[in-house]
Amino acid sequence: MEIHLGNTVIGGKKKFIFAGPCAIENISQISEIAKFLKDYSIPGLRGGTFKLRTKPTSFQGLGEEGLKLLKEMGDAYGLITITEVATPEQVQLAYEYVDVLQIGTRGAQNPYLLKAAGQQRKPVMLKRGMMMTIEELLWAAEYIIEEGNPNVILCERGIRTFEKETRNTLDLSAVCILKEKTHLPVFVDPSHAVGLAAYVPQLTKAALVAGADGTLIEIHPEPASALSDGAQALDFTAFSKLVKELREETISFTI
């Protein structure tokens, strides 16, 4: 299924990339990123505004101020914007500012949030809950669709397993299965899956080869000083190298 956003298509023949910071921190950070994406012809800008952090002492996001910055950047650079919403109230608020609403791994199991996302008309990227089976993810999508919003993008973002070397375990088989079982676009977020920037490029390529329609990648101009998820953020050099490689050829075989 194709989702049309202005002149842009998600779930069509071309792969789609959303990139941006884990959290919008201030205007200079997000405008530097937005300009960089525009220069590299990347169509989508992500940016967390209402963050769901494990620790209450961690940076919680700029809230509505962040939404305003995201809209400003989307308008200024012609980028498709996405941000996470965690409550029905945030769905209503973000509706005014962004192009795509994101339901995160923690929100994916909240039927009240899913229904609220189904009652509005912007596309919804639904991430897989970190403990969700593929079947449960599909039921979560059904909550949104049943309310009248067919524009759901599924996103594999890693699941919790016994493995501790990586933040989560990227379940690439979910991509194959979801592509077969549904007509919905399927994305992969390699950043939250692996949690380590060094492995994000390889996993992005693997996801696209497995059939993903697009990816959601965290980038930051200065990952070491990021207020959240710095360890998994690609800097501009690493991200532009990845984009160049993706454009040249997704994978090359020496056989």
Sequence-distant contacts of 35-43: CB under 8 A, at least 24 apart: 35/77, 36/221, 36/236, 37/77, 37/79, 38/77, 38/78, 38/79, 40/240, 40/243, 42/17, 42/79, 42/243, 43/8, 43/16, 43/17, 43/18, 43/79, 43/80
Site string for ligand PEP, 98-127 (x = CB under 6 A): ------xx---------------------x
Q: Of these partners, Mn ion, ligand PEP, none, which one is at the site of residue 127 (CB under 5 to 8 Å by kind)? A: ligand PEP
Minimal distance, residue 159 CB to ligand PEP, in Å = 10
Minimal distance, residue 24 CB to ligand PEP, in Å = 11
Strand partners, 214: 16, 187
- Closest by Cα among 109, 89, 8, 220 to 101: 89
How many residues bind Mn ion (CB under 5 A)? The answer is 2
Minimal distance, residue 88 CB to Mn ion, in Å = 22
Q: Which is nearer to ligand PEP, 192 or 220 (CB)?
A: 192
From candidates 25, 100, 157, 197, binder to ligand PEP by CB under 6 A: 157
Q: Which is nearer to Mn ion, 29 or 149 (CB)?
A: 29
Q: Binding of Mn ion at residue 229 (CB under 5 A)?
A: yes
Helix axes 64-77, 27-39, angle to 10 degrees: 30
Minimal distance, residue 22 CB to ligand PEP, in Å = 5
CA 14 – CA 8 distance, rounded (Å): 10
Q: Which is nearer to ligand PEP, 71 or 245 (CB)?
A: 71
What's the token pair of residue 85? 């919403």
Q: Give the single-character DSSP code of 120.
A: S
Q: Which residues 175-234 are close enough to bind ligand PEP by CB under 6 A?
A: 189, 192
Strand partners, 80: 44
Minimal distance, residue 95 CB to ligand PEP, in Å = 18
- CA 15 to mean position of chain CA atoms: 14
Q: For binding to ligand PEP (CB under 6 A), which residues are involved?
A: 22, 48, 84, 104-105, 127, 157, 189, 192
